[in-house]
């Protein structure tokens, strides 16, 4: 690693959690002769890039900041250099460096600095609320605060996969959520379609998600994960409350997906530009009955396949007497193949908002997963 990069890393590690951007900017001013470094974080709705210290957000989709964010690449805009800030596929935002260095080697070093900043931000968020608060354009409801605290991030990439997810409405979500975990050979994804309203719905989802994680971290397969979560919910609510869930376990080497459909959200596959439903045998929702035993089903992906999981809030959204999930959803998803998973979920949520003329009144989750095993090229940015 270049000495300047080592210095940047040390600066980030030694800076107070709430001042890592300021300390990094001061260091870069000395080492790279720049005038300023500004951080713009992606907001909770995936619709604005919000400056850390206030000021106007970047909202126009074609703006240089958005091009850097969407394509994970540097964008030069006159005197400003925009660079993406991400960690293992989770896109946090962009930085703006001014003036733009003429030397491409210096710009490449600054791109590495942006990566270092991403990792420092993830660590810093454990010790300060500054970055979480700055990324909000309005106050979250208590239920939404609980839900966002459950998430593993909004994106993830590995050698054989890329995925992303989004909650809607971002500032008032109640019960829908998602989770994932990857190992060298496997990727596990769960999407929950919650029930109820407000804090009660969020509390039920928290119970279900933590029961699922507890079982997963104990090494149980997806059927036993569902069974343990079912027992946890039933023992507390005695069948009065239950929750829908879809559990997926993808073998990253073979493309075989082992699934448990517990009254789940809709599962769709995009292959060669065509959308089709992946039909699974529906089993009882988690917590509905005492002693439910869940069984697995399998299906196989082909290299380059894309899976979408969408909750009822998307499928059943209605405007002008038309349900979004009846035909518009499939047509829209079929056109998303060239987009990255995060851009795809952002686009479908945006299309949903346009369809209903504003934010959804029901919870909605969209998750997008690509299987791209090594050896197959994929040009989605």
DSSP 263-284: SPPEEEEEETTEEEE-----BP
Q: What is the pLDDT of residue 228?
A: 97
Q: What is the pLDDT of residue 380?
A: 56
171, 140 in Cβ contact below 8 A?
Answer: yes
* Residue 291: CA count within 13 A, CB half-sphere: 0
**Residues 157-184: pLDDT tens digits?**
999 999 999 999 989 988 999 999 999 9
Residue 80's nearest CA partner among 29, 19, 30, 38 is 38
Q: Is 245's pLDDT higher than 60?
A: yes
Q: Is 316's pLDDT higher than 80?
A: yes
Which of the four pLDDT bands, split at 50, 70 and 90, describes residue 359? Answer: confident
pTM of the model: 0.93
The average confidence (pLDDT) of the chain is 94
Q: What is the pLDDT of residue 327?
A: 82
Which of the four pLDDT bands, split at 50, 70 and 90, describes residue 366? Answer: very high
Cis peptide leading into 285, omega within 30 of 0? no
**Residues 49-90: pLDDT tens digits?**
999 998 999 999 899 999 999 999 999 999 999 999 999 999
């Amino acid at each position: 690693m270049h000495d300047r990069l080592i210095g940047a890393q040390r600066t980030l590690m030694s800076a107070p959690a709430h001042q890592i951007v300021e300390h990094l900017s001061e260091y870069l001013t000395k080492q790279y002769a720049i005038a300023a470094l500004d951080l713009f974080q992606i907001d909770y709705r995936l619709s604005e890039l919000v400056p850390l210290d206030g000021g106007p957000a970047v909202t126009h989709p074609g703006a240089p900041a958005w091009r850097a964010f969407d394509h994970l690449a540097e964008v030069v805009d006159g005197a400003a250099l925009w660079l993406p800030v991400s960690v293992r596929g989770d896109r946090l935002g962009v930085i703006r460096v001014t003036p733009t260095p003429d030397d491409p080697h210096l710009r490449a070093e600054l791109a590495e600095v942006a990566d270092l900043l991403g990792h420092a931000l993830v660590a810093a968020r454990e010790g300060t609320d500054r970055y979480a608060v700055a990324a909000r354009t309005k106050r979250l409801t208590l239920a939404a605060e609980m839900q966002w605290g459950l998430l593993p991030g909004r994106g993830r990439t590995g050698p054989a996969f890329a995925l992303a997810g989004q909650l809607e409405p971002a500032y008032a979500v109640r019960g829908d959520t998602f989770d994932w975990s990857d190992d060298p050979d496997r990727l596990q994804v769960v999407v929950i379609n919650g029930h109820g309203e407000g804090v009660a719905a969020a509390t039920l989802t928290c119970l279900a998600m933590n029961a699922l994680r507890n079982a997963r971290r104990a090494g149980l397969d997806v059927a036993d994960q569902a069974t343990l979560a079912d027992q946890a919910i039933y023992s507390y609510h005695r069948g009065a409350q239950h929750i829908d869930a879809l559990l997926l376990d993808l073998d990253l080497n073979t493309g075989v997906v082992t699934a448990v459909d517990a009254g789940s959200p809709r599962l769709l596959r995009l292959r060669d530009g065509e959308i089709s439903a992946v039909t699974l045998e529906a089993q009882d929702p988690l917590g509905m009955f005492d002693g439910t035993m869940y069984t697995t089903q399998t299906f196989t992906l082909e290299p380059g396949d894309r899976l979408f999981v969408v909750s009822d809030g998307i499928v059943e959204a209605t405007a002008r007497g038309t349900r979004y999930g009846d035909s518009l959803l499939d047509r829209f998803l079929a056109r998303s193949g060239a987009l990255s998973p995060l851009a795809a979920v952002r686009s479908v949520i945006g299309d949903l908002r346009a369809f209903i003329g504003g934010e959804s009144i029901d919870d909605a989750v969209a998750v997008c997963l690509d299987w791209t095993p090594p050896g197959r090229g994929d040009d989605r940015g």
